[in-house]
Amino acid sequence: MTYHCQSSCKREWAIKVVEHLVNDDAKLDHITALLEQVEREGMDTSREREKMIHTTPLPFAHLRVVDSFV
């Protein structure tokens, strides 16, 4: 069973979905799978953010600093 995040805040979204599952007498493996999915997506997001930070060039990095006071 896969749930898709409709909210910008994954924690709130996960709590709502877990409440829904509990109210519908969901099996423990469904709840566990959901929590694992949220954790996996969070880790993927962190990796993507880290990758973007490392691959994004700094502004003005191509310019050389030259100190010339005549």
Domain map (residue ranges) of the chain: 10-55
Structure tokens at 56: 């994004």
- Identify the pLDDT of residue 67: 54
pLDDT at 2: 54
More confident residue, 51 or 36: 36
Taking a C-beta distance cutoff of 8 angstroms, is the pair 34, 21 a contact? yes
| Tokens found for residue 21 | 């599952």
Across the chain, mean pLDDT equals 65
pLDDT tens sequence across 27-50:
777 777 777 877 777 666 666 666
- pLDDT recorded at residue 65: 53
Q: Which residues of 45-60 are buried (b: 16+ CB within 10 A; e: fewer)?
A: eeeeeeeeeeeeeeee
